[in-house]
């Protein structure tokens, strides 16, 4: 196996910098669109053969150092007993969670019974790749999932989830606790199926102040990270707009902290210290730069991050209009300049 990603996550030397891209299996790839044109998104997530096929597509086309299983962070939420609609306009919960009764109705599902198709997709992905690269398992963080469930979908202000937290904190903690009880076995199932590393997405964590994040999110993330690390796999935590939360993310015990594009990698390292690996952090829209400028951005990030304990990634997910050739150029540039960085020959 190409184990660069796993070695970098554990802050071990690598021959070059590993790279994968958040949302690397998706709408920017024509081969994905060809499959997606014949099936609804949620049905695609639940079809192990097709989910494995689209998971493998970017590994084949781009040469990335890992496959991240094709799924959605809201899959385990649906298994808790809430109706989920996933379309091109994003997720929608027609019956959002707003009361103690709504929270009490939610179950803590058996992961195999409720979401076993994810595990099967991981097994089929490993077989299709012949274990040539690691498979990344993932889940959303309790706050981010709760935000969708309470708001009924995406939000600009997050007023409903925040009011729940601030006006009825005991209910918010009950919801976060039930989500955590669901997510831990869900991620363990992915590890048992063959995921070699897992990432926890707290996509909307940056909407909270550090004080609120520490109070409402960190206890649950610590539980998740601790239980997952006990399985022997590295754990990545990531959120958008969380440059002021890095010390809190480090306190979870995660092996890797993902950085968005708003903080230079070397500044992130200063905050996090030498005992945590970092992941990131190219602005996804930099993939629209001329190739020479994109190449320069890659060099700058590699220099700032250093040769050990760095996984190259975007600062958030790749965007649908992205040219796949730009993504391939990026991967090749990271690998080429990563070698030069280790040899001390990385030019300007």
Q: Taking a C-beta distance cutoff of 8 angstroms, is the pair 343, 302 a contact?
A: no
Closest residue by Cα to residue 278 from 270, 269, 287, 286:
269
Residue 320 neighbours by CB under 8 Å, 6+ apart: 26, 27, 28
Cα separation values, 61 from 56, 157, 284, 290, 308, Å? 9, 38, 18, 21, 26
- The predicted pLDDT at position 347 comes to 81
pLDDT tens digits, one per residue of 50-68: 999 999 999 999 999 999 9
Pull the structure tokens for residue 330: 């990026």
- The predicted pLDDT at position 40 comes to 92
Tell me whether residue 247 is annotated as binding.
no
State the Cα–Cα distance between residues 51 and 67, nearest whole angstrom: 12
Coarse DSSP helix, strand, coil percentages of the chain, rounded to the nearest 5 percent: 55, 10, 35
Q: What are the residue numbers of the active site? A: 23, 27, 36, 72, 148
Closest residue by Cα to residue 225 from 250, 195, 194:
250
Tell me whether residue 213 is annotated as binding.
no
Tell me whether residue 148 is annotated as binding.
yes
- The predicted pLDDT at position 38 comes to 86
Tell me whether residue 316 is annotated as binding.
yes
What SS3 class is residue 74? coil
- The predicted pLDDT at position 210 comes to 97
Tell me whether residue 10 is annotated as binding.
no
Tell me whether residue 173 is annotated as binding.
no
State the Cα–Cα distance between residues 80 and 182, nearest whole angstrom: 8
φ/ψ of residue 58, rounded to 5: -70, -25
pLDDT tens digits, one per residue of 169-186: 999 999 999 999 999 999
Angle between helices 169-193 and 218-229 (to 10 degrees): 20
State the Cα–Cα distance between residues 167 and 147, nearest whole angstrom: 15
Cα separation values, 219 from 152, 223, 225, 239, Å? 25, 6, 10, 16
Half-sphere exposure of 132 (CA within 13 A, CB side): 11
Low pLDDT (below 70) residues in the chain:
none
pTM greater than 0.85: yes
Domains for the chain: give ranges and CATH numbers: 3-343 (3.20.20.210)
- The predicted pLDDT at position 33 comes to 96
């Amino acid at each position: 196996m190409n184990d660069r990603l796993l070695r970098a996550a554990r802050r071990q030397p690598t021959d070059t910098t590993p790279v994968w891209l958040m949302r690397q299996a998706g709408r920017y790839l024509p081969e994905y669109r060809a499959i997606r044109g014949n099936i609804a998104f949620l049905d695609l997530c639940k079809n192990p053969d097709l989910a494995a096929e689209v998971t493998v597509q970017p590994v084949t086309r781009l040469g990335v150092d890992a496959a991240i299983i094709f799924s959605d962070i809201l899959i385990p939420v649906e298994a808790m007993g809430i109706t989920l609609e996933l379309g091109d306009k994003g997720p929608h919960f027609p019956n959002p969670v707003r009361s103690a009764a709504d929270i009490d109705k939610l179950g803590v599902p058996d992961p195999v019974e409720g979401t076993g198709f994810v595990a099967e997709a991981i097994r089929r992905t490993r077989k299709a790749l012949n274990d040539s690269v690691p498979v990344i398992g993932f889940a959303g963080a309790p706050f981010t999932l709760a935000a969708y469930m309470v708001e009924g979908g995406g939000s600009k202000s997050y007023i409903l989830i925040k009011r729940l937290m601030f006006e009825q904190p005991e209910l918010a903690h009950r919801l976060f606790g039930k989500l955590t009880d669901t997510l831990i076995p869900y991620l363990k199932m992915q590890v048992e199926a063959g995921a070699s590393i897992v990432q926890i997405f707290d996509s909307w964590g940056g909407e909270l102040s550090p004080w609120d994040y520490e109070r409402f999110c960190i206890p649950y993330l610590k539980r998740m990270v601790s239980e997952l690390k006990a399985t022997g796999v590295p754990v990545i935590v990531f959120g958008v707009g969380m440059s002021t939360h890095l010390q809190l993310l480090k306190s979870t015990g995660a092996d890797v902290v993902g950085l968005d594009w708003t903080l230079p990698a070397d500044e992130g390292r200063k905050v996090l210290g030498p005992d945590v690996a970092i992941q990131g952090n190219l602005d996804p829209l930099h993939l629209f730069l001329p190739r020479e400028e994109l190449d320069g951005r890659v060099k700058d990030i590699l220099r700032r991050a250093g040769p050990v304990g760095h996984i190259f990634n975007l600062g958030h997910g790749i965007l649908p209009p992205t040219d796949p050739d730009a993504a391939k150029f990026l991967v090749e540039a990271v690998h080429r300049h990563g070698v030069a960085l280790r040899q001390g020959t990385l030019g300007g």
